[in-house]
């Protein structure tokens, strides 16, 4: 397990860069944390660091947002918050998204734990206080 700490939201880009360097060639990430822990905010910073040129926002209502980088690569941002059971995800072909060789960031993965890809990196975001977060990365 590796740990990163974010002490100030103004340094989120720096922490996102550290995260990407620390996780090397891995591209699939499941983000765990309470509501308001900062999952979406951190994923937005990661997408920006990867060069996303699209407007980045939470896919809570759409389940999946696809962003493009300057070189045309895709980034998937998935949010399973509204999912009632994994069968809903299987019905929309979620496995196709899991096995593409692109960055994929999943929020609320605990709603579909049994269908996540085996090589996914689990990231736990814990709120230390209003401005501080700790990220525990299980590689």
pLDDT at 137 over 70: yes
- Residue 5 — φ and ψ, nearest 5°? -120, 135
2-138 domain in CATH 3.40.640.10?
no
pLDDT at 52 over 80: yes
Residue 128 has what pLDDT?
Answer: 92
Report the C-alpha gap between 38 and 44 in whole angstroms.
10
Q: Structure pTM?
A: 0.92
Taking only the tens place, the pLDDT of each residue in 68-81 is 999 999 999 999 99
Residue 38 has what pLDDT?
Answer: 93
Taking only the tens place, the pLDDT of each residue in 82-117 is 999 999 999 988 988 888 999 999 999 999 999 999
Q: What angle do CA 13, 120, 75 make, to 5 degrees?
A: 50
Strands, sheet with 28-32, edge to edge from the N-terminal-most edge strand: 2-6, 133-138, 121-127, 28-32, 103-107, 74-79, 64-68
pLDDT at 130 over 70: yes
Residue 74 has what pLDDT?
Answer: 95
Residue 60 has what pLDDT?
Answer: 64
Residue 18 has what pLDDT?
Answer: 95
pLDDT at 122 over 90: yes
């Amino acid at each position: 397990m590796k740990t990163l700490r974010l002490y100030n939201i103004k340094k989120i880009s720096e922490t996102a860069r550290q995260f990407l360097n620390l996780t090397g060639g891995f591209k699939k990430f499941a983000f765990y944390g309470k509501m308001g822990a900062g999952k979406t905010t951190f994923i937005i910073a990661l997408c920006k660091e990867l060069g996303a040129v699209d407007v980045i926002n939470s896919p809570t209502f759409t389940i999946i947002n696809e962003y493009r980088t300057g070189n045309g690569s895709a980034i998937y941002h998935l949010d399973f918050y509204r999912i009632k059971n994994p069968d809903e995800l299987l019905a929309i072909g979620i496995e196709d998204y899991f096995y593409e060789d692109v960055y994929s960031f999943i929020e609320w993965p605990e709603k579909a734990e049994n269908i996540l890809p085996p090589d996914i990196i689990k990231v736990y975001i814990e709120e230390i206080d209003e401005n501080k977060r700790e990220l525990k990365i299980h590689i």
